[in-house]
């Protein structure tokens, strides 16, 4: 992948929406309105920011209206601070006039907003999958994390890294589900990520027809178990450290670091899970190795 082009192109966060249908966003507010006492949700702040930045192409207006001056940057290839983001993105916009991106999913809760994005610098590129996570406080974007992964030429599951394949579990269980998406996350996440209980986590919380969008894995619950159980057996010191769990509607976003050995730098990842009737029915992810050095001191997590 074009680590310099794509990783740094998205240093300030997010993506444009020029490649096709994308979620509809509300119209941006005037700066004077944004400066008033905040009555907007984190989702509303983030989407107005993205409208100004990507639909209008107004980097400076977007950041000066919606981003805190002390904006904290966790992308390891970008400097921290609002002005650094403006300087970089104005140059990036000019250098990549044919950039194209689609926002496929927006997941927001507890002041955090995650964007699942498909992006490329030109239509000819396969491009990259990106998850940007923004923390919003008082109508300002105050912090940003991201994970960026190149899109491979082929995948064993044929599902692609972005589109959704509907699996409905309603009517297939003896009793209807009464749990929220957050409660499903609270059941699944500790079992798999915290305790490494692969079979118990999947057989309890994942539908047998689980749709896989990881470009290196087969679809199906049994295929996931068959891959993960031997992996944990071969790597007994492997750990997944969960930093953030965002739930919204039927979606869960898990921001984590995977480390095979304690001394490894490991990888940053975001897993996105879709829930239907108390079962996880679909999975997307984006993974990026943690680099040896960063141009800011904030770390990736």
Nearest to 117 by CA among 144, 146, 94, 140: 146
Query: 50: closest CA among 35, 40, 33, 65?
Result: 65
Angstrom CA distances, 40 to 47, 48, 70, 193, stand at: 11, 10, 20, 33
- What residues have CB less than 8 Å from 230, skipping those under 6 apart? none
Set out the domains of the chain in order of their start, with CATH numbers: 3-150 (3.10.450.50), 181-289 (3.10.450.50)
Cβ contacts of residue 98 below 8 Å, gap of 6+? Answer: 121, 122, 123
| Rg, C-alpha atoms of the chain | 19
**CA distance linking residue 107 with residue 85, whole number of Å:** 23
Q: Which residues pair with 257 in a beta bridge?
A: 241, 268
121 and 127 Cβ atoms separated by less than 8 Å:
yes
Pair of tokens at residue 178: 């009464």
Output the tens digit of pLDDT for each of the chain's 301 residues. 433 333 333 433 343 333 433 443 444 444 444 445 789 999 999 999 887 887 787 889 999 999 999 999 999 999 999 999 999 889 988 998 888 888 899 999 999 999 999 999 889 999 999 999 999 999 999 999 999 999 999 999 999 999 998 776 655 555 678 999 999 999 999 999 999 999 999 999 999 999 999 999 999 999 999 999 999 999 999 999 999 999 999 999 999 999 999 999 999 999 999 999 999 999 999 999 999 999 999 999 9
User: What is the distance between the alpha carbons of residues 122 and 199, in angstroms, rounded to a whole number?
Assistant: 42
Q: Is residue 204 packed enough to be buried (19+ CB in 10 Å), middle (13-18) or exposed (0-12)?
A: middle
Cα–Cα distance for residue pair 247/189, rounded to 1 Å: 12
Residue pair 205/184 in contact (Cβ under 8 Å)? The answer is yes
- φ, ψ (nearest 5 deg) of residue 112: -115, 140
Neighbouring CB atoms inside 10 A of 230's CB total: 11
Distance (Å, whole) CA 133 – CA 253: 10
Q: What angle do CA 164, 286, 262 make, to 5 degrees?
A: 140
Per-residue pLDDT of 180-218, as tens digits, reads 999 999 999 999 999 999 999 999 999 999 999 999 999
């Amino acid at each position: 992948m074009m680590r310099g082009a794509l990783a740094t192109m998205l240093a300030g966060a997010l993506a444009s929406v020029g490649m096709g249908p994308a979620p509809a966003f509300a119209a941006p507010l005037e700066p004077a309105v944004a400066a008033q006492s905040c009555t907007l949700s984190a989702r509303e702040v983030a989407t107005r920011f993205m409208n100004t930045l990507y639909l209008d192409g107004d980097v400076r207006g977007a950041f000066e209206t919606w981003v805190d001056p002390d904006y904290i940057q966790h992308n390891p290839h970008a400097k921290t601070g609002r002005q650094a983001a403006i300087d970089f993105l104005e140059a990036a916009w000019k250098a990549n006039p044919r950039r194209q991106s689609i926002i496929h999913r927006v997941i927001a809760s507890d002041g955090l907003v995650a964007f699942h994005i498909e992006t490329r610098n030109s239509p000819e590129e396969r491009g990259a999958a990106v998850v940007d996570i923004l923390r919003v406080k008082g109508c300002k974007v105050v912090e940003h994390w991201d994970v960026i992964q190149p899109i491979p030429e082929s995948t064993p599951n044929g599902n692609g890294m972005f589109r959704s394949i509907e699996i409905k579990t309603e009517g297939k269980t003896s009793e209807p589900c009464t749990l929220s998406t957050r409660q499903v996350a609270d059941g699944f996440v500790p079992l798999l990520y915290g305790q490494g209980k692969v079979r118990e986590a999947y057989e309890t919380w994942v539908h047998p027809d689980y749709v896989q969008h990881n470009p290196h894995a087969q679809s199906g619950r049994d295929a996931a178990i068959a891959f993960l159980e031997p992996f944990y057996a071969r790597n007994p010191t492997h750990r997944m450290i969960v930093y953030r769990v965002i739930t919204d509607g039927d979606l869960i976003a898990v921001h984590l670091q995977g480390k095979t050995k304690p001394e490894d730098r490991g990888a940053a990842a975001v897993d996105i899970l879709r829930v239907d009737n108390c079962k996880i029915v679909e999975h997307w992810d984006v993974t990026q190795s943690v680099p040896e050095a960063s141009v800011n001191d904030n770390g990736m997590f």
